[in-house]
């Protein structure tokens, strides 16, 4: 007999375990889950996502979710994995989830910045690394580009530093980095199918809408705010945590080159950044005993947006 140890969703996992978990999802749900490799990191690791949905033979719409674009935000990959488990567990008994699994495919990337994620697992001195691991330009000794400043969305204009040692270094040009290029090419080549684009970060308890640049407002800003506020209310109902909704210049500070803005500029109507717990008490080092409540509330918020996108 085969005895399988249950995957512990309420612990943080190194990349090797997350990769095996992805393969296990395909083995456990071969009719619903596939792994799609869509690029390579700077250090040549395969960037992969789980494509999840019921095969209906019809053309399907899609939902995008990526986690771990910033290396140190460990709660984000934990959430993507929790999200996958939840939808796979609920669709068999929940009629609404079954309907959505028939109409859309979920494209979930648990760890986008794999090189950076591994680096944060190396030792305590590198635990707070944010960027990817590509070397800077020739005249600079530092490593890493901020992947959430590297997308082709008002690239390099606000909320960046061209000092390559900075945590907001946007790279040498839009999508100069293989990780940002992979998302750009995968989503960009099938942008018409995506109803919604969710990119998961920590921390700050925010739901951010496009755009990060103060001079631009999304054409459907009112809709984005309404849906975002609905999501924040859904989050609040689970454990009473407050999430603030808005465009980043209004909520904190302006930024450019984010994947959220890029996705909206590509025509994907519902594009959001989630900043999960907490508000700074533990910050990026969110204790493991908060993984479960954080994931439960964020799932409720994400599902609010996804359901709206599906029903629209
Ligand atoms: N924050 C995001 C970042 O890329 C952001 C999103 C931008 C938040 C601007 C607030 C203002 O900086 C994190 N935590 O990565
Ligand atoms: Zn982040």
Is the beta carbon of 19 within 6 A of some atom in ligand 1? Answer: no
- The end-to-end CA distance of the chain, in Å, is 47
Is the beta carbon of 250 within 6 A of some atom in ligand 1? Answer: no
ipTM for this prediction: 0.92
The DSSP 8-state label assigned to residue 143 in this structure reads B
Strands (E) located in 213-301: 244-247, 270-276
Is the beta carbon of 150 within 6 A of some atom in ligand 1? Answer: no
* Catalytic site includes residue 275: yes
User: From the CA of 254, which ligand is nearest?
Assistant: 1
Is the beta carbon of 297 within 6 A of some atom in ligand 1? Answer: no
Per-residue pLDDT of the chain (312 residues; tens, 9 = 90+): 656 678 999 999 999 999 999 999 999 999 999 999 999 999 999 999 999 999 999 889 999 999 999 999 999 999 999 999 999 999 999 999 999 999 999 999 999 999 999 999 999 999 999 999 999 998 899 999 999 999 999 999 999 999 999 999 999 999 999 999 999 999 999 999 999 999 999 999 999 999 999 999 999 999 999 999 999 999 999 999 999 999 999 999 999 999 999 999 999 999 999 999 999 999 999 999 999 999 999 999 999 999 999 999
- Please identify, by atom number, the ligand 1 atom nearest to the C-alpha of residue 130: 15
Helix (H) / strand (E) containing 7: none
Separation CA 195–CA 306 (nearest Å): 8
Separation CA 27–CA 124 (nearest Å): 35
pLDDT at 5: 75
Is the entire prediction scored with pTM above 0.90? yes
In the set 223, 275, 288, 296, the catalytic residue is: 275
């Amino acid at each position: 007999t085969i005895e399988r140890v249950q995957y512990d969703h309420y612990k943080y996992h190194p990349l090797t375990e997350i990769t095996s978990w992805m393969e296990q999802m395909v083995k456990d749900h071969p009719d619903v889950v596939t792994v799609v490799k869509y690029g390579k990191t700077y250090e040549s690791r395969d960037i992969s996502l789980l494509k999840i949905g019921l095969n209906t033979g019809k053309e399907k719409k899609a939902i995008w979710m990526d986690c771990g674009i910033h290396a140190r935000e460990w709660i984000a990959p934990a959430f993507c994995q929790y999200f996958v488990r939840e939808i796979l567990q609920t669709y068999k008994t929940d009629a609404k989830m079954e309907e959505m699994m028939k109409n859309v495919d979920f494209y979930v990337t648990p760890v986008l910045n794999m090189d950076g994620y591994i680096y944060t697992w190396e030792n305590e001195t590198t635990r707070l690394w944010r960027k990817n691991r590509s070397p800077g330009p020739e005249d600079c000794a530092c490593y890493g580009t901020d992947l959430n400043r590297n997308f082709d969305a008002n690239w390099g204009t606000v909320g960046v530093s061209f000092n390559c040692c900075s945590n907001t270094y946007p790279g040498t040009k839009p999508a100069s980095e293989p990780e940002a290029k992979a998302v750009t090419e995968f989503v960009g080549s099938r942008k018409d199918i995506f109803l919604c684009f969710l990119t998961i970060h920590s921390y700050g308890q925010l739901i951010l809408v496009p755009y990060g640049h103060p001079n631009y407002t999304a054409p459907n800003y009112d809709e984005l705010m309404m849906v975002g506020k609905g999501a924040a209310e859904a989050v609040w109902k689970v454990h009473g945590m407050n999430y603030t909704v808005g465009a980043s210049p209004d909520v904190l500070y302006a930024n450019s080159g984010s994947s959220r803005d890029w996705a909206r500029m590509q025509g994907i109507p519902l594009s959001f950044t989630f900043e999960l717990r907490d508000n700074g008490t533990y910050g990026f080092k969110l204790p493991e005993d908060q993984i479960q409540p954080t994931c439960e509330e964020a799932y409720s918020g994400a599902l609010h947006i996804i359901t709206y996108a599906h029903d629209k």
